[in-house]
Amino acid sequence: MGRWEPNARGRLEEAALALFTERGFEQVTVAEIAGRAGLTERTFYRHFADKREVLFPDANPLVTGFDKALEEAPDTAEPMATVSVVLDAVAAFFEGRHDYSRRRHAVVAANAELRERESIKLSTLAESLAEGLRKRGVAEPAASLAAESGVAVFKVAHAQWLAESEPRDLGVLMREALAALRDVTGAG
């Protein structure tokens, strides 16, 4: 057995989500989170750059799956086809996580600082997606527009999925949103 309890990072994430759920983000101090995880405040900041980041881990299965799907997507001249493949991978990630996603979303939605962090994380994903498209030969501004559109589709479908108590398949919702986007932009 190691000197320290294993998975300090995971314990901090769990402690944080539990405390934020109970009392809200602002009403919880970093020292409390660390204490609940059997650690000190200073150690918290060795694992996370700031208090909010504990809810948005850099290395998480969503981002990993996203990057992998983006890399492995077949080459095609149609940027939205690549976007669609990546969105499928994202949908797969959320499979079986509806309850957890809702609890987490409640915490984030209740706090402006956390909504801000979520917003920039989505922007970062859009930028990754645009970069991936450029590497596949898609020119600007098509690459950025396709990437931003993809994130918009995700946002809309994800919000719909979260709102449903008996959720339909996120992949289906995304494909519907993608079709709706085509209608909206194409008809204008």
Footprint of DNA (CB under 7 A) = 1-4, 8, 28-31, 34, 38-43, 45-47, 49-52
In the list DNA, its own copies, none, the entry touching 41 (Cβ below 5 to 8 angstroms by class) is DNA
Contact of residue 60 among DNA, its own copies, none (CB under 5-8 Å per partner type): none
Tell which one of 62, 85, 152, 162 touches its own copies (CB under 8 A): 152
State which residue, 36 or 175, has the beta carbon closest to its own copies. Answer: 175
- From the list 94, 108, 124, 122, the residue with the least C-alpha distance to 54 is 108
Q: Note the helical H segments in 24-111.
A: 30-36, 41-47, 61-72, 79-94, 98-109
Rg, Å, the chain Cα set: 19
At closest approach, how far in Å is the CB of 114 from DNA?
12
Tokens of 129: 């997606």
To its own copies, the closest distance from the beta carbon of 30 in angstroms equals 18
